[in-house]
Structure 1
Amino acid sequence: MGINYLKGDATSPQAKGKKMIAHICNDIGGWGKGFVLAISKRWKEPEANYRQWHRERSQNDFELGQIQTIQVEEYIYVCNMIGQRGIKRGSNGVPIRYEAVKDCLDKLAEVAEELDASVHMPRIGCGLAGGKWDKIEPIIKDTLILKGIDTYVYDF
């Protein structure tokens, strides 16, 4: 079993049963570019929950490596994963943080197992976050695929 690659829109997951749409968020509360716009076009809750999570971060676990799961339809959930430090390329390189992505995907695997859900995503971390798919793909294999979670990656 490996990653299932599909052409299409990750906000319209192609599978039966419960589905979890996973995507990368930054650690500064910014939501307004990239894949999050496709999510916000379909559902308001993921952005609202993310912004509240960030606003109340002094009282919660809002930080790199953490996830937030929001049910948006009867069989569809969105997973906000904090795997990006800031939004700009700087002296520390690109915003993606591979270790945080691994932590997020480990947590996502547990939730997906509990819900008996498949996981759907674009090529996470490879757009605005500046990551490389050849580094992300093995992380997905070591987390979701290793635990037997049906995983779908969409190329739009």
Structure 2
Amino acid sequence: MSGITYIRGDATAPSARGVKVIAHVCNDIGGWGKGFVLALSRRWAEPEAAYRSWHRDRARNDFALGAVQLVPVDRYVWVANMIGQRGVSRGGKGVPVRYDAIDTALARLADRAIELSASVHMPRIGCGLAGGRWERVEPLVVERLVKRGIAVSVYDHGG
């Protein structure tokens, strides 16, 4: 038992009471337009706008692999843009996912989730377009979030 609750449903509509953080993985080149981010953008404009601004001003902020940006989208809902992917291409250099960056981002997210008394909700982060494997990501989620007492739900889309 991992301590993670697995739910078939939509991670942009978390099924929990209280403050919720929807976490997802972004790339480090400012690209937003494929995968889970499309579902976020259909629901709220703020996460994309904040990410694009964060990237545009990266010379003056912490935008880099492992960084986290929390964006409020509702009274009780935040979106965590986590930089855990190098570029977007799958080529001779392998897949874009960076497990160490996801690990760092999850540790930072944990601190914020505790401050907010929030549960964390996510798709299988880093395992879609980033090309990661859940058997590598799940232990990071357990170590960084679950072991710190944060309720985590992972959503598998579809019916």
- The two structures have a TM-score, normalised by structure 2, of 0.97
SS at match of 1:146: helix
Letter in 2 for 1:80: N
Count, aligned residues: 156
* 1:99-124 deviations in Å (ceiling 9; x for gaps): 00000000000000000000000000
Distance in 2 (alpha carbons) for counterparts of 1:125 and 1:59:
26
- Please name the residue that 1:21 is paired with: 22
Letter in 2 for 1:55: R
- Please name the residue that 1:84 is paired with: 85
- Please name the residue that 2:36 is paired with: 35
- Please name the residue that 2:125 is paired with: 124
- Please name the residue that 1:53 is paired with: 54
Distance in 2 (alpha carbons) for counterparts of 1:90 and 1:111:
35
Residue 90 of structure 1, CA deviation: 2.4
In the alignment, is residue 114 of structure 1 matched against residue 115 of structure 2?
A: yes
Q: Percent identity?
A: 61
Residue 92 of structure 1, CA deviation: 2.5
Unaligned runs of 5+ in 1: none
Residue 58 of structure 1, CA deviation: 0.6
Distance in 2 (alpha carbons) for counterparts of 1:101 and 1:82:
7
Letter in 1 for 2:29: I
Letter in 2 for 1:116: S
Distance in 2 (alpha carbons) for counterparts of 1:24 and 1:97:
10
Distance in 1 (alpha carbons) for counterparts of 2:106 and 2:119:
13
Distance in 2 (alpha carbons) for counterparts of 1:83 and 1:115:
22
* 1:67-103 deviations in Å (ceiling 9; x for gaps): 0000100000000000000000123210000000000
- The two structures have a TM-score, normalised by structure 1, of 0.99
Letter in 1 for 2:85: Q
- Please name the residue that 1:66 is paired with: 67
